[in-house]
């Protein structure tokens, strides 16, 4: 087979790139290691920045999102029983939207299938060849049958454990990483949200987050030990611990119920540089990971897609490679700012095992400064709704 852009990874970033390119008349083939049902079964984040919202609409897949998504004008920060709201709309005139990543992916699959887009599932043994040449190609197996795709460019949207980043030689790439000494235990429950906005809670017992997917589907998290297993936590134990960490008025109105999904996610910050090697471009988790505290995972992938999509369009429509040549530098400049914000929010709200009494006082002072300082709230709002591309 032959295509203009071979996209490795059939998650939301790979599908979004494929759909955007299709609307510009640029051909692509998407390779996905798992099945469609498996991809749609993954529970992921649900807060979309303004840039991601724009890309979804530009891709022609924003109708259901705009109809069913929940617009959020701000977020609640709590510490003990103290709480305050950072109102994004009042502060900077912008909002975010709660719309699950699963629904984003579902909309993109529907659009690619309606357009006859090529998506190959259950691929194995993927190898990228000649990325540093003028004639790259990708080989893979499907049910033991060897396949080959010749292409102009390869987009690596295959996540942290995919083959794309590993294709870049070790003497070319440099990796930066911070591993946090805790994880998030999260549950999904068919219960109404405890608050109309998200609650980010800092407590003596650790961090907690109250989020939602819709009027009767809530997502809750608590900071936990990396040695914990989801099986260590009964639903009752989770709810009781959550109540201890959020303000008492929220705990009193919290509606509990059986969990329909329960998992633990470790937290890390990770960036690889560069994000381009020859004709291979890394996007999303293939190039960078953020702790989920700042709601930046899917949104940083979206900014990568924005830069790569425009670079490819500029090349194919105008014969100008400037956008592709500057891709890594532009993408990384924004990524490091998102990394900083996610690191800051994580440091602000979590309990660390080695914190001294001085550290705890500084953490409290930082939260109270955010509560009382409009410039600090503006900075938080600008980062949370998404820095410009």
Q: What is the pLDDT of residue 65?
A: 97
CATH code of the domain covering residue 337:
3.50.50.60
Question: What pLDDT score was predicted for residue 363?
Answer: 97
The residue from 72, 288, 306, 330 that is catalytic is 72
In a shared domain, residues 187 and 173: no
Query: Residues 251-278: what's their mean pLDDT?
Result: 96
Instruction: Kindly give the pairing relationship between strand 208-214 and strand 217-224.
Output: antiparallel
Q: What's the pLDDT score for residue 43?
A: 66
Burial of 343 (C-beta count, 10 Å sphere; 0-12/13-18/19+): middle
**Quick check: 202 and 370 in contact, CB under 8 A?**
no
pLDDT higher than threshold 90 for residue 224 = yes
The rounded distance, in Å, linking the Cα atoms of 275 and 131 is: 13
Q: Which of 195, 288, 296, 306 is catalytic?
A: 296
* Overall pTM surpassing 0.85 (yes/no): yes
384 is catalytic: yes
Tell me, yes or no, whether 359 lies in a domain.
Answer: yes
* Domain of 377, in residue numbers: 179-267+352-385
Is residue 190 a part of any domain in this protein?
yes
**Same domain? 226 vs 282:** no
Query: Whole-angstrom Cα distance, residue 53 to residue 67?
Result: 12
Write the pLDDT tens digit of every residue in 51-70: 999 999 999 999 999 999 99
- Residue 2's nearest CA partner among 20, 29, 21, 30 is 29
Residues 259 and 303 in one domain: no
Residue 90 lies in a domain: no
Residue 371 has pLDDT above 80, yes or no: yes
The catalytic position among 153, 316, 327, 384 is 384
8 A C-beta contact, residue 345 and residue 47: no
From the list 79, 292, 307, 327, the catalytic residue is 292
> What's the rounded Cα separation, in Å, for the pair 11 and 158?
8
- Residue 160 pLDDT > 90: yes
The answer to whether position 29 is within a domain reads: yes
- Shared domain check, 189 and 168: no
pLDDT in tens, 96-137: 999 989 999 999 999 999 999 999 999 999 999 999 999 999
Are residues 327 and 207 located together in one domain of the fold? Answer: no
Per DSSP, helices labelled H in the chain are 12-23, 36-41, 50-58, 63-68, 88-92, 101-114, 163-167, 235-245, 248-253, 297-318, 322-325, 327-349, 357-372, 374-385
Q: How many domains does the chain have?
A: 2
The half-sphere exposure of 369 on its side-chain side, counting CA atoms within 13 A, is 11
Whether 119 is covered by a domain: the verdict is: yes
Rounded to a whole number of angstroms, the CA Rg of the chain reads 21
253 and 330: one domain?
no
72 catalytic residue (yes or no):
yes
What does pLDDT average to over the chain? 96
Inter-helix orientation angle 327-349/357-372, to 10°: 110
Q: Is the peptide bond before 78 cis (omega within 30 degrees of 0)?
A: no
Whether residue 23 is contained in a domain is answered as yes
- Does 186 share its domain with 311? no
Dihedral in degrees, nearest 10, Cα atoms 360, 364, 365, 366: 100
β-bridge pairing 198-202 and 74-79? parallel
Q: What percent of the chain has pLDDT over 90?
A: 94
Q: What is the pLDDT of residues 309-367, one digit of tens each?
A: 999 999 999 999 999 999 999 999 999 999 999 999 999 999 999 999 999 999 999 99
Domain shared by 173 and 200, yes or no: no
Are residues 114 and 45 part of one domain? yes
Sequence length of the chain is: 389
Which of the 8 DSSP states describes residue 339? H
Does a structural domain hold residue 84?
no
- Same structural domain for residues 116 and 169? yes
Based on the domain organization, do 251 and 139 belong to the same domain? no
- Do 186 and 269 meet the contact criterion of CB atoms below 8 Å apart? no
Instruction: For residues 57 and 154, state if they share a domain.
Output: yes
Q: What is the CATH number of the domain that holds 221?
A: 3.30.9.10
Asked if 178 is an active-site residue, the reply is: no
pLDDT, residue 32, reads 97
pLDDT at 42: 75
Q: What is the average pLDDT across 140-166?
A: 97
Q: Tell me, yes or no, whether 289 lies in a domain.
A: yes
Q: 140, 200, 221, 309: which is the annotated catalytic residue?
A: 200
CA distances from 386 to 45, 94, 166, 213, 365 (A): 15, 9, 29, 20, 25
């Amino acid at each position: 087979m032959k295509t203009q852009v071979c996209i490795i990874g059939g998650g939301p970033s790979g599908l979004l790139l494929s759909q955007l390119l299709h609307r510009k008349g640029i051909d692509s083939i998407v390779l996905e290691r798992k099945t469609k049902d498996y991809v749609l079964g993954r529970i992921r984040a649900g807060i979309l920045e303004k840039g991601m919202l724009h890309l979804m609409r530009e891709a022609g897949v924003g109708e259901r999102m705009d109809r069913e998504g929940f617009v959020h004008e701000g977020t609640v920060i709590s510490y003990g029983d103290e709480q305050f709201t950072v109102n994004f709309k009042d502060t900077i005139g912008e909002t975010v939207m709660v719309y699950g990543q699963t629904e984003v992916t579902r909309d993109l699959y529907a659009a690619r299938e309606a357009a006859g887009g090529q998506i190959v599932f259950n691929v194995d043994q993927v190898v990228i060849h000649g990325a540093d040449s003028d004639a790259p190609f990708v080989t893979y197996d499907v049910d033991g049958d060897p396949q080959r795709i010749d292409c102009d460019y390869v987009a690596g949207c295959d996540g942290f454990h995919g083959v794309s980043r590993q294709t870049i030689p070790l003497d070319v790439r440099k990796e930066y990483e911070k591993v946090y000494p805790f994880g998030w235990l999260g549950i999904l429950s068919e219960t109404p949200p405890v608050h109309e906005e998200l609650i980010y809670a800092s407590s003596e017992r650790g961090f907690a987050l109250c989020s939602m997917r819709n009027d009767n589907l809530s997502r809750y998290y608590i900071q936990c030990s990396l040695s914990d297993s989801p099986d260590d936590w009964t639903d009752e134990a989770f709810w009781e611990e959550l109540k201890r960490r959020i303000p008492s008025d929220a705990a009193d109105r919290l509606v509990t119920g059986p969990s329909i999904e329960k998992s633990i996610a470790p937290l890390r910050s990770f960036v690889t540089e560069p994000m381009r090697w020859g004709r291979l471009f890394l996007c999303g988790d293939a190039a960078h990971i953020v702790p989920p505290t700042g709601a930046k995972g899917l949104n940083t992938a979206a900014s990568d897609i924005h830069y790569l999509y425009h670079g490819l369009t500029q090349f194919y429509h105008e014969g100008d490679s400037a956008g592709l040549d500057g891709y890594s530098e532009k993408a990384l400049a924004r990524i490091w700012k998102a990394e900083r914000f996610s690191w800051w929010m994580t440091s602000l709200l979590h309990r660390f095992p080695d914190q001294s009494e001085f550290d705890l006082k500084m953490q409290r002072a930082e939260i109270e400064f955010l509560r009382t300082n409009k410039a600090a709230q503006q900075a938080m709002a600008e980062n949370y709704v998404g820095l410009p591309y």
